[in-house]
Chain A
């Protein structure tokens, strides 16, 4: 019979509920073993430590709830909640790891309205990127909605091939709609040819188009406000998209590092 020591007790206790941590379903022995081998032994990460790591930039006290830890799927899902000290503002992040698929799913992130525009959303996504790189996770997936349709593209995410097919159709129509204005600055036929021939990273080319076109959504009493095509397309015309950040793409990672170092 083996010795049951302090280390074993600690290992078992990390899967029990505490003030800051809750498990919505019991973690089986097999799943505990998987966690220890995949995260605790190589990286020293307990379930609570994982929650802290992937939301490192978020201030204040945090509480976490694991929806499941499942060894058979090599996956876990959790929600981390917190508040901004001294305010009534809050944030939460849903994250799911699919270790077999080598991907984190950034299922959701909410920052309460009073703290919008402070960069917390991007910082918390930066934490997930850092954690992924530490653990050798190759991809982060998300659903880009609302203002994120523009912002996540600028963070290095690209639409999936399927999402790109829809975005490409929308872009084609939007380029034709604004052709007279675009033609003053560039060869629209060449642009259309490349957009139709290209893959998801052509979304970056669409974003780069700086010809000013009228916005339909920004209220203006007399004339429509003129804004760069690259913003108007993503903030008004493009549908929500499923996207992925490929951490094996050295060029994208290098570009991301340069901006994160600056911010």
Chain B
């Protein structure tokens, strides 16, 4: 049975599917919520928020923005 994902017909043998043509394409949990989950994981593993902010400055900025009510 053919189990090609979208995009794989052109790129046989890889997993990229529709992501291959568009680096910005994403699925699932939205960027800000995803960054918050990653920051929690970082801190849970013993890392500091400061180091997380240094490692991921773009996301640190995103997370620092006030959440709209």
Contacts and interface: CB of A to CB of B under 8 A. Distances in A.
Q: Do A and B originate from a single complex? A: yes
Interface of A: 110, 113, 116-117, 122, 146-147, 149-151, 153-156, 186-187, 190-191, 193-194, 197-199, 201-202, 204-205, 207-210, 212, 215, 217-219, 227-228, 231, 235-236, 251-252, 254-256, 258-259, 262
9 nearest A-B residue pairs (beta carbon): A154-B28, A198-B45, A201-B41, A255-B33, A217-B14, A117-B6, A116-B6, A204-B38, A186-B55
B34 A194 contact: no
B28 A190 contact: no
Contacts of A231: 19, 23
Q: DSSP class of A's interface residues: helix, strand, loop or mixed?
A: helix
Interface string B23-48: 10011111001111110111011110
A259 B26 CA distance: 12
A236 B15 contact: yes
A259 B36 CA distance: 14
B24 to A, nearest CB: 9
B19 A258 contact: no
Contacts of B38: 204-205, 207-208
Interface residues of B, number: 41
Given A215-B16, A235-B16, 5 more contacts: A117-B6, A151-B27, A205-B41, A212-B23, A259-B33
Contact of B34 (A187, A204, A227): A204
Contact of A151 (B9, B28, B34): B28
B46 A116 contact: no
A201 B41 CA distance: 5
Contacts of A212: 23
Nearest to A153: B28
